[in-house]
Structure 1
Amino acid sequence: MTKRPVLDFWYEFASTYSCLTALRIEAAAEAAGVDLRWRPFLLAPIFAAQGWTSSPFNLYPNKGRYMWRDVTRRAGRSGLAIVRPEIFPQNSLIAARLALAGREAGWMPGFTKALFRAQFCEGRNIAEEAVLTTALREAGADASAAFPLSRSEEVKGRLKAETELAKSLGIFGAPTFVTGDGELFWGDDRLEEALDWARDGR
């Protein structure tokens, strides 16, 4: 049996464009015959290394205004309504740890999608335990087990290692897609190109 190609989907929970991708990537990957690896990581350390103290969408107002309009347009094509949260970018540390805690159990994708919908379709704060708990339940996860696991040194170390790996791969934003041969594609609008490359190569 021929092994299916794999695409790594690197995403940051505070990222608007990562939200757009997370809510459509499974169907697109299945249609392309490509398997996915969901790779949550933190952009803050990568931004800090570039001298940024916040999202570039906050640091550069024109870029920020364009981004929100662009995300709204792109979401509308999929029938989604974007709600701008009161806080942006949000603290995604606990969310990323929880997602990694669910990798082996299989609920990472469901949790990821539920949390993105809560943040950018409902305007909720993903740093709040109640919001995280609701997303865990929607994904079929046991919140009473997931939270303690997310606070373990093993999961904390895993997130640090994933973020360091992202840096070493040259990832500078989210979403980013990395193919089996190491080709890197950045941005929700590069998803189809990344899937094609993962399947067919150069």
Structure 2
Amino acid sequence: MARPKLEFWFEFASTYSYLSAMRLPSMAQAAGVDVVWRPFLLGPIFNSQGWKTSPFNIYQAKGNYMWRDMARRAERFGLSVEKPDPFPQNSLLAARVAQAAPEGAQKVAFCQNVYLMEFSEGQDISDPEVIAACVELAKLPEGIIEAAQSDENKHALRLSTEEAGRRGIFGAPNFVVGEELFWGDDRLEEALEWAVRDG
């Protein structure tokens, strides 16, 4: 019998995706749910809505609330939060590497390393040296950064982002179970329960 499956759609520049990325692996394992990690880019989706930056920058009150909420939730989960400068970060290279990485523990480790570098240590994830360090820590295959920059992989990430738009994804993180969409870190538990129930 096939195990329940959940798709985790994430954007490396997304604050709440950081919380989900750090919590999801152990929670999914405990629930018996398989997770497919789906990187995509929010920039083109925001552009289609007429936004040139994060809504947390456009609406100051919303941004102020988000950073305070992040601090509360991170403390609850035993994580630390530091606002990177600039925010949002340019996540293109990180997303391309995640797209190129094979599914499995090394891909998960890479993604978690990127989030920790960005939101726990305040490092610039557009810096190739930062991404190289994340690759090394995760023990991803040699040459993965070069593979990530191939035309084929760039196209794959564009297709993934277009798919996100078609499926009604408008922010991050998202958890998709079949045709059901759950948006936000605070819907992680509900998404896993739905996967188990309908899996």
- TM-score normalised according to structure 1 size: 0.95
Deviation of 1:141 after TM superposition, in Å, equals: 1.7
Deviation of 1:199 after TM superposition, in Å, equals: 1.1
**2:7 corresponds to:** 8
Q: Name the CA distance, whole Å, in 2 between partners of 1:105 and 1:176.
A: 19
Q: Which runs of 5+ in 1 are unaligned?
A: none
Q: How does 1:80-95 map to 2 (within 5 A)?
A: 80-95=79-94
Aligned: 1:39 with 2:19: no
Q: How does 1:151-162 map to 2 (within 5 A)?
A: 151-162=149-160
Instruction: Indicate the SS of the match to 1:24.
Output: helix
Aligned: 1:24 with 2:17: no
**1:198 corresponds to:** 195
Q: Which runs of 5+ in 2 are unaligned?
A: none
- TM-score normalised according to structure 2 size: 0.97
Q: How many residues align?
A: 199
Decide which of 182, 187, 197 is 2:184's aligned counterpart: 187
Deviation of 1:142 after TM superposition, in Å, equals: 4.1
Contact 1:46 1:172 in 2 (8 A): yes
Instruction: Indicate the SS of the match to 1:107.
Output: helix
Deviation of 1:107 after TM superposition, in Å, equals: 2.3
Instruction: Indicate the SS of the match to 1:23.
Output: helix
Decide which of 164, 173, 176 is 2:174's aligned counterpart: 176
Classify 1:156/1:105 alpha carbon distance in 2 versus 1 (closer, same or farther; 3 Å). farther
Residue identity opposite 2:191 in structure 1: A
Aligned: 1:67 with 2:66: yes
Deviation of 1:103 after TM superposition, in Å, equals: 2.4
Residue identity opposite 1:175 in structure 2: P
Residue identity opposite 1:83 in structure 2: E
Q: How does 1:45-194 map to 2 (within 5 A)?
A: 45-104=44-103, 107-142=106-141, 145-180=143-178, 182-194=179-191
Deviation of 1:104 after TM superposition, in Å, equals: 4.9
Q: Name the CA distance, whole Å, in 2 between partners of 1:171 and 1:194.
A: 15
Instruction: Indicate the SS of the match to 1:148.
Output: helix
Deviation of 1:78 after TM superposition, in Å, equals: 1.3
Deviation of 1:171 after TM superposition, in Å, equals: 0.3
Contact 1:100 1:108 in 2 (8 A): no
Q: Name the CA distance, whole Å, in 1 between partners of 2:62 and 2:103.
A: 38
Two-structure CA RMSD over aligned residues (Å)? 1.3
Q: Name the CA distance, whole Å, in 2 between partners of 1:162 and 1:154.
A: 12
Identity of aligned residues (%): 51
